[in-house]
Chains A and B, each alone.
Chain A
Amino acid sequence: MKKTITMTVNGQIMKAEVEPRTLLIDCLRDQLGLSGAKVGCVVGKCGACTIILNGLTVKSCMMFAVQADGAEIMTIEGLAGDGELHPMQQAFTDKSAVQCGFCTSGMVLTATQLAKDHPNASEEEIKDAIGGHICRCTGYVAIVDAIKEGCKRMSEQQG
């Protein structure tokens, strides 16, 4: 029995018809065409499916789409401005923090959220923040560097 849900996704109101068991990640990717969030492990461990839901980072493979009815969602597609990368995205490329790219969208969203909540996050706090993400390529060194730099740039932009 399908249900109709309504969400605000990247600033636009969107409707979807979903089964009660449809995962939010599948709804976003397969129905709304937002494939920036990836399906990694489907056990909530790898973070590739991370989105921002009502201001919080959420692993969208761990939620049913119906639970997001009425929610405000931002996916990686909503982060960059027209023609320009968001400062956190720019920091990731400047610090060589991208290799295969599969973990990247989730990492970047978690990082932007961290920067908003803790603009002066220490290295340990950054590691804690991305503790729910897996990257198999970089060894995390460049990612931690990029997040430090991104936090700095985001607070400069606001300040």
Chain B
Amino acid sequence: MSEPVSISASAPAAAQASAPAPVSALNGASFEGMVKIREAGACGMITLRGNFASEAFVSAVKSASGLDLPGIRQVVRADGMTLGWMSPDELMLMLPYAEVPGVLARLNAALAGEHALAVDVSDARAVFVLTGTRAREVLAKLSPADLAPGHFAEGELRRTRLAQVPAAFWMTGEAEVTLFCFRSVAGYVMGLLTTAAAPGGEVGAW
């Protein structure tokens, strides 16, 4: 990569016994500035499309993930599963990478006959974790979304634009934001984040 700021890469976690270790977009690159930025490595993702008003769809999602459907723009979490509202007919289920085939099989069995779709998209995206009290500030430099405290809080998943590419993020703690973008633009997003989080770039508006 050609980012101006030094970014260290660490080897991904040990592979599962049989399957080869998944290779994430930036191989776990990290950066420390105003906030700590870390590419989260391989994360399991299942995209779900269906009719949210259908009982069969809701109960299939519930039985496979243990989670109720999130409300508009909400994200719900429990036991390593995260379920986010992406659009009026689309959900994103995030879970440990190795659990995807099992959960997907359960989903597809439960959704049989239903006009719905569950697809493994784990390798289509890159996930970043921003840690630090200024995480909001870093994102606010890059996105038109209103991230002021009180307007954006834990529990909301915001799909928006980071400079020139689409991304989605949600707060996973008071000072932690998880973000994903398409894998093909992972290097670009890492560049954006490291520039926005460069030491000395504090805005201090909040």
A and B assemble together? no
Interface residues of A (CB under 8 A from B): none
